[in-house]
Each structure stands twice: as C-alpha cells, then as structure tokens.
Chain A
Amino acid sequence: MEAGTLTRPHAGVHAEHKAGLRSTILDWLLTTDHKKIGVMYIWLAFSFFAIAGVFALVMRAQLSAPGLHVLRPDVYNQIMSLHGTFMIFFWTIPIMAGIGNYVVPIQIGARDMAFPRVNAFSFWLLIPAGLLMLSGLWLQGGAAAAGWTGYPPLTDRQYSPGPGVDLWILGLHLAGMASILGAINFVVTILNLRAPGMTMMKMPMLCWNVLITQSIILVATPVLAGALTMLLTDRMFGTGFFHPSAGGDPVLWQHLFWFYSHPAVYIMVLPGMGFVSQILPAFSSKRLFGYKGMVLATAGIGFIGFLVWGHHMFATGMDPGLRRFFSFASMVIAVPTGIKIWSWLATVWGGSIRFRTPMLYGLGFIALFTIGGITGVWLALVPFDVQVHDTYFVVAHLHYVLFGGSLMSIFAGIYYWFPKMSGRMYNEFWGKVQFWLVFIGMNLTFMPMHMAGMLGMPRRIYTYQPQFTIWNQIASVGAAVLGVAMLIFTINMLYSLARGKRAPADPWDHDEFNKTLEWKVSSPPPAENFHTLPVIR
C-alpha cells in the first residue's frame, strides 16, 4: 500500500539533538510535541492535585471533632470551594486530557495532534488559570468561598465583595477555553488523522471514549462560559441576570451551571472508563467484551447526560412535570452505565488475570464505581433526593463516582502507561501497597459520609452537631490513610523516574489482539511516534 511508505526524513532528528540544560528547558517550554505536552499536563495536574489534596486533609482535620478551630469559618469555605474547583477543573479534567494527549495520537497511528500549537496553547492556559484562582487566598477578602457551584446571590458583589469570586470566574474562563480548544483538537485529530485502515470501529476503546468526552465538552463548556460571563457582568457592570430585584433569577444560574456541570461528570469519568477498557482486557488476556455495545453505551451516556441536569435542583421548587422528566431520565442513564459494568465483568470472566498494579486499580474502579452508580439511582428518586440533597450523602455519592470512578481509573492509567512515558518501570510492590491503602482509605473516608448524610448532616459546614461525630472521625482517619498512600505514590514514581528498571516496548506482554499501537513503538516512543506510518488491516 501507498501509505506504508510515508516515511518522514526528519523524524528522529529531535531525539538525536544533544541537549544542555538551557536547551532542554527551552525544548519543553516551546514544544508542540503531543507527548511532551501530555507529560506536562500530567505534572501540572498532579501539582494541583497535591494542593487540592492538602486542602482536603486540612478540612478533615477541622472536621475530626465538632467545634474545632483548625480553620476559621470563612477560611474553611474558601478551602472547601478551592478543593472542589481544583479537583474538577485542575486535576481530573486536565490529567485525563494529558493521558489522552499522550496516548490517543499514537493509538490511532498519528504523528501528533491535528493542531500542535493550539495543543500547547491549551496547556499553557491552565497555569495562569490555576494561579489566578489560588491568588485569592492572599488577597483582601480571600479566595472564592461559595463552593465549586458558585450560586448567586452569594457570589454577587453584595455578598462576596472581594476579588476572590472575580478571580474564580476568570480562572474558570481560562480553564474552559483550554478545554474547548483541546476538544476541537481531539475531535479533529480522531476524525481525520487515523492511520490508513484504522476505521472508526477498529479504534481502541479509549479513543472512542475520548472522542465522545471531547464532543460533550464542545457542547457543554461554552454554556458554562456564557453563565460565567453573565455572573461577571452582574458583578462588574451592574447587569441583573441573577438579581431578583432587577427581574433576574438566581435559579437561572443553577440551570445554566448544571447544564454544563452534569455532563462534566461524564467528562470526568468517560476517559477513565476508556483507560479501564484497555487495562482489563490487557491483564485478563481476553478481548474487550461487547465492543459495539460499549461504543453505543458510551454515546448513550454522552447524550442522556445532557438531559438530567435538573436532578441537582429537585429542592429548588421546580415544576412538577420537569421533576418527573429529570427523575426518570436520571434513572435511565443507569442502563448504559450498567451495560459498561456488565461488559467489563464479562471481559474479566474466564480470563487469565495478572494482578499488576494497573489491573488492581481497574478492578477497584469497578467495585467502587458500582457503589456510586447505585446511590446515583437512589438520588434520581425525587423524594429520597430531597431528603439527602445537600447533605454528606451527596458528598459520599460524588466521591464514589469521582474518587472511586475517575481517580481509580486515572491511577490505573498512570501505572499502565508510566513505563511507556518514562521508559522506566515503577516499583510493583509499592504500587500494590499504595493501591490497597487507597482502596481501604477511600472506603474509610467516604462510606461513613453516607451515614452522616442520612442522619441529616448538611455538606459545606465548617463544624457540626455532636450526633455526627463518629462518622466524621472515621472519615478523618480514612483521609489520613489516603494522605500516606499519596506520599508513597510520589516517592515510588519520583524514584522510578530516576532509577527505575528500563522498560521494553511492551512491558506488559500484551496478547497480539490487545496490543494497541503505543506498545509497538519504543518506550518512550520516538519523536513523531512512527518512523513509518502503520497500516492497519
């Protein structure tokens, strides 16, 4: 075939370039290579994760007994708001973009993303975005303190007079812009740059998940940008979109916000489901069960995900007909989610399972995400939702989805592709120890929150009534375990980056049918990925 001879004479030139420190730094600063950008995304996301994680630990210290004064109430609200915002916009979304950036172009047999400079621009936007938002902590009036949801009128100038909320809005705007540009880039790349013979239905599952995720971003994120702009003009220029006194309505914000932020849950979990869909077959020595069904289910989740935002608003006094619509749509989304879970179980069933760290995380993902899915069905039932809405039950539910789901899958992906990205192996023993600490610590932290919420403990409170004490103490112990686990992870990975054993092209000994293209090139892959573009039959 023609395509088999598409060799680029200059491929590999960069790799041979002998670099001093100065040119190494310049190389990273100016790079448009999707792999380097992916790696930078991962470093940046882990840095923000560390900050947001410390915020979480400080909150758990404050809540380890009622009536403590570790944090002042106003500072608690800032820390709590930044924890949520950072975990979502500066950890989960960017790290998935980072892993996707690294892996997807190789998996589809491309040399880079479609728009390499736009790709670099997306990444570099995230640093000022995060710093803007954090800077509020050192300014008069503090950082934004209205939760990651930023409901007006609390975020209006009258009730949040300092610059914190403005910085929060601008930070989100930049992060949103990065997301939208990235989405255009991913969609164009996957649709247009696939190697000869790589039809859509031959793409690895991860590519489908990324394609669908990025399509969701393309539709949803501009709506958030619009809502943020309205909030900003309310604060800055005296418009009244969300002011009842000016004919506006604060509930409008909630509609616009959740129109983005419910699909955002799928933005945060679908790429991770893609990682798991690669890892479970790889370590079971089986093909992914029901590929077509998986693709359809993922697309279904992406579509129905736009029809359920109202379930965040059942207690706002919503129209009864709408309540029923959003309720039933939210229950329906359990069906495609179920298809994915059953298909993963069928993938593992009958396999030859090798319990390496990525696999442990993949299996842990199924175990924990299922719990988040079950409580999600309960929350779709309006009367039960109203009972536990805005309590710790919801905090527990969302952490089973975003920690048990997203974070477990991210760690699965990081362990899985670490040898590919760094060219070195991590320490397997400490990887496993870390998995078990995370698995146990996660359940210790978040399971008791279900009980506290059912007993009536509201979320986002800086201290609590004595009847909630025991559940909070267990949660705080769990959080400490998670902190230790993350330290172990950091040491393991940093040590392995410097001293780890050299990784071969395919350190996991994939079966031929599971060997996606990234495992057929060296670890790390050469510049522009392929000396000769692959042809898929």
Chain B
Amino acid sequence: MTRFRRTHAIALAIGLLALLGGVGTAWAWLVNPVTPVAHEVRDLWYKAVGVTMFFFVLAEGILLVAVLKFRAKPGVAPATFHENIKLELVWTAIPALAMVILAGPAFSTLKYLETVPKSDLTIEIVGHQWFWEYRYPGQGIVFANEPLVIPANKIVAADVTSIDVVHSWFMPEFGVKMDANPGRVNHTWFQVERPGTYRGQCAELCGVLHGDMLITVQVVTPEEFERWIEQKKKGA
C-alpha cells in the first residue's frame, strides 16, 4: 500500500514538473514581434509571467509538498488548526497588491497601443465572407483577395469594418487584432520594422470558410512601395 502511495506521489511530481516545463517553453513562443506595439505586448507578458509565476510556484509547490509529506501514517495524528486571521489577511492583501502593481504596466501599454499616432499612410480594411478588401483612400486604390502591401517603418493607420458578419483582422507578429463589425469602424495602427511577408488570418468565427480567411501582408521598402502604388494605379 505504501509503495502504491509513493508511486502516486512520484507521478504527481512528474506531472507538475511537466506542467512547469510546458509553461516554461511557452516563454519562447509569443511569436516574433515586428512592431513597437508587439514588442510592448511581449514585454508586458514577461512582466505578467514574472508576477504570477511567484504565486503559481508557491501554490503548486505547497500542494506538492503537502501530498508528499502528509500521507496518512498510523500513529501520526492530523493537525487541528482551521483558521488564522493574520494568515488570511496576508494572502488576501499580497495578491491584491500584486494586481495593483501589474495594472501599472498593463494600463501604460494599453494607452500606447490605443493612441493612433500621426500616420504616414491610412488604409481601410473591410471584411467579407470570406476574403479581405483593402482600400487606400489617399491613393485611390481598392482591391480584394490579394496581399496587403505597406511600406516598412512607416506608421500605418487602419480603419477596420465589415460588410456582412463580424470578422477580426489578426496579424500575430504585429500585435494587432481588431474586430471588423458591420455598422462600426474601428481604428488601429502598426509600424512594421522589417520588410518581409507576414501572415495572419481572421480571428472571429464568420461562417463556413472562416478557417480559410487568410491574411498576407507584404512589407516593402518605401521606394518599392511607391513603385507598387504607381503600378497599381495604372493597372486599375
């Protein structure tokens, strides 16, 4: 019987270690940020992990130790304590304090990503079942079902809406997710640091082919962007 219990304890320990390992690997996986907003989001996440890991390790650690240490043994009587006001105040106050501390960076990051700076380029993103339409009102360009093309290192402001159901324009590496609601226009912005091809997809269930509503963004140098605009105008 003892051997049986020990196996349990060992299995539980392995399980918890695996969990910790899983959470640990998650560190590496918050995509590769390529905009200032995405960098801020990842930094905020690191802070959140830092604050919450303390409580996580404490709780799971106490659980593990308790499971290993307090198995029923003949002749060992259980403790009888069942309240301790001081202790209860401490474990109310400290997490509350931690939440207030965490709210600081959370709100400042929020302020940063909410404030759309003076933009170099304004585009409109319109969700359809099941493709994206892009408009460049300043340049008089409209197209759909093709990659969005934007210049690197320029501030792009985007107005997001939908023609039919709710969609969501989601570019993980940009730190951008904005719902496209019919009858409303939402505003977001991004400034992509490196040229390249980036992929995302619709993040709000929008019907049968929701899973196929992909997004491709080509980020090019400003010169290439000018050339592309000229070409697009001629083509249209």
Residues of chain A at the chain B interface (Cβ within 8 Å):
73-74, 77, 145-147, 149, 151-154, 159, 244-245, 249-251, 284-293, 315-317, 320, 323-324, 327-328, 331-332, 334-335, 338-339, 341-343, 345-355, 360, 363, 366-367, 370-371, 374, 377-378, 381-384, 386-387, 389-391, 432, 436, 439-440, 443, 447-448, 450-451, 454-456, 458-465
Q: Please tell me if the beta carbons of B44 and A460 are within 8 angstroms of each other in the complex.
A: no
The interface residues of chain A lying within 8 Å CB-to-CB of B113 are: 383, 386
With A and B bound together, what is the CA distance between A289 and B62 in angstroms?
15
Kindly identify which residue among B26, B110, B179, B209 contacts A315, using a CB–CB cutoff of 8 Å: B179
With A and B bound together, what is the CA distance between A460 and B66 in angstroms?
40
Please, could you name 6 A-B residue pairs with CB atoms under 8 Å apart, sorted by A? A153-B166, A290-B82, A338-B91, A345-B66, A367-B16, A454-B30
Q: Please tell me if the beta carbons of A334 and B203 are within 8 angstroms of each other in the complex.
A: no
The interface residues of chain B lying within 8 Å CB-to-CB of A154 are: 165-166, 205-207
Q: Please tell me if the beta carbons of A286 and B80 are within 8 angstroms of each other in the complex.
A: yes
The interface residues of chain A lying within 8 Å CB-to-CB of B102 are: 331, 377, 381
Q: Which 7 pairs, one residue from A and one from B, show the smallest C-beta to C-beta distance?
A: A244-B183, A456-B172, A350-B79, A461-B211, A317-B186, A352-B72, A287-B82
Given A351-B66, A384-B45, A454-B26, 16 other A-B contacts at CB below 8 A? A159-B164, A159-B165, A244-B184, A250-B182, A251-B181, A286-B80, A317-B186, A334-B99, A345-B66, A350-B78, A353-B67, A353-B71, A366-B59, A432-B8, A456-B31, A465-B214
Q: Please tell me if the beta carbons of A151 and B205 are within 8 angstroms of each other in the complex.
A: yes
With A and B bound together, what is the CA distance between A37 and B140 in angstroms?
68
Q: Please tell me if the beta carbons of B177 and A315 are within 8 angstroms of each other in the complex.
A: yes
With A and B bound together, what is the CA distance between A291 and B82 in angstroms?
8
With A and B bound together, what is the CA distance between A146 and B205 in angstroms?
7
Kindly identify which residue among B41, B44, B78, B109 contacts A284, using a CB–CB cutoff of 8 Å: B78
Q: Please tell me if the beta carbons of B41 and A383 are within 8 angstroms of each other in the complex.
A: yes
The minimal Cβ–Cβ distance linking B217 to chain A, given in whole angstroms, is 13
| B43-67 at interface with A (beta carbon < 8 Å) | 44-45, 48-49, 52, 55-56, 59-60, 62-63, 66-67
With A and B bound together, what is the CA distance between A317 and B165 in angstroms?
15
Q: Please tell me if the beta carbons of A355 and B5 are within 8 angstroms of each other in the complex.
A: yes
Kindly identify which residue among A290, A316, A335, A360 contacts B95, using a CB–CB cutoff of 8 Å: A335
Q: Does B103 contact A (CB under 8 A)?
A: yes
The interface residues of chain A lying within 8 Å CB-to-CB of B141 are: none
Q: Please tell me if the beta carbons of B95 and A315 are within 8 angstroms of each other in the complex.
A: no
With A and B bound together, what is the CA distance between A288 and B63 in angstroms?
16
| B85-122 at interface with A (beta carbon < 8 Å) | 87-88, 91-92, 95-96, 99, 102-103, 106-107, 109-110, 113-114
Q: Please tell me if the beta carbons of B56 and A73 are within 8 angstroms of each other in the complex.
A: no
| B1-15 at interface with A (beta carbon < 8 Å) | 5, 8, 11-12, 15
Q: Please tell me if the beta carbons of B48 and A377 are within 8 angstroms of each other in the complex.
A: yes
Q: Please tell me if the beta carbons of B205 and A460 are within 8 angstroms of each other in the complex.
A: yes
The minimal Cβ–Cβ distance linking B79 to chain A, given in whole angstroms, is 3
The interface residues of chain B lying within 8 Å CB-to-CB of A366 are: 59, 63
* A336 (CB) vs chain B CBs: closest residue: B92
The interface residues of chain A lying within 8 Å CB-to-CB of B29 are: 451, 454-455
The interface residues of chain B lying within 8 Å CB-to-CB of A378 are: 45, 48-49, 52
The interface residues of chain A lying within 8 Å CB-to-CB of B31 are: 454-456
With A and B bound together, what is the CA distance between A153 and B161 in angstroms?
13
* B19 (CB) vs chain A CBs: closest residue: A443
Kindly identify which residue among A291, A327, A389 contacts B103, using a CB–CB cutoff of 8 Å: A327
Kindly identify which residue among A74, A152, A317, A371 contacts B179, using a CB–CB cutoff of 8 Å: A317
Q: Please tell me if the beta carbons of B73 and A352 are within 8 angstroms of each other in the complex.
A: yes
The minimal Cβ–Cβ distance linking B53 to chain A, given in whole angstroms, is 8
The minimal Cβ–Cβ distance linking B46 to chain A, given in whole angstroms, is 10
Q: Please tell me if the beta carbons of A374 and B55 are within 8 angstroms of each other in the complex.
A: yes
The interface residues of chain A lying within 8 Å CB-to-CB of B77 are: 352
The minimal Cβ–Cβ distance linking B71 to chain A, given in whole angstroms, is 6
With A and B bound together, what is the CA distance between A291 and B85 in angstroms?
11
The minimal Cβ–Cβ distance linking B17 to chain A, given in whole angstroms, is 11
The interface residues of chain A lying within 8 Å CB-to-CB of B23 are: 371, 450
The minimal Cβ–Cβ distance linking B78 to chain A, given in whole angstroms, is 4
Contacts A77-B205, A378-B52, A451-B29 given: A285-B60 contact, CB under 8 Å?
A: no
The minimal Cβ–Cβ distance linking B34 to chain A, given in whole angstroms, is 12
Q: Please tell me if the beta carbons of B203 and A342 are within 8 angstroms of each other in the complex.
A: no
The minimal Cβ–Cβ distance linking A45 to chain B, given in whole angstroms, is 26
Q: Please tell me if the beta carbons of A367 and B205 are within 8 angstroms of each other in the complex.
A: no
The interface residues of chain B lying within 8 Å CB-to-CB of A456 are: 31, 170, 172-173, 200-201
The minimal Cβ–Cβ distance linking B216 to chain A, given in whole angstroms, is 11
Q: Does B202 contact A (CB under 8 A)?
A: yes
Q: Please tell me if the beta carbons of A332 and B96 are within 8 angstroms of each other in the complex.
A: yes
The minimal Cβ–Cβ distance linking A446 to chain B, given in whole angstroms, is 10
Q: Please tell me if the beta carbons of A350 and B81 are within 8 angstroms of each other in the complex.
A: yes
The interface residues of chain B lying within 8 Å CB-to-CB of A387 are: 30, 38, 41, 45, 172, 175, 177
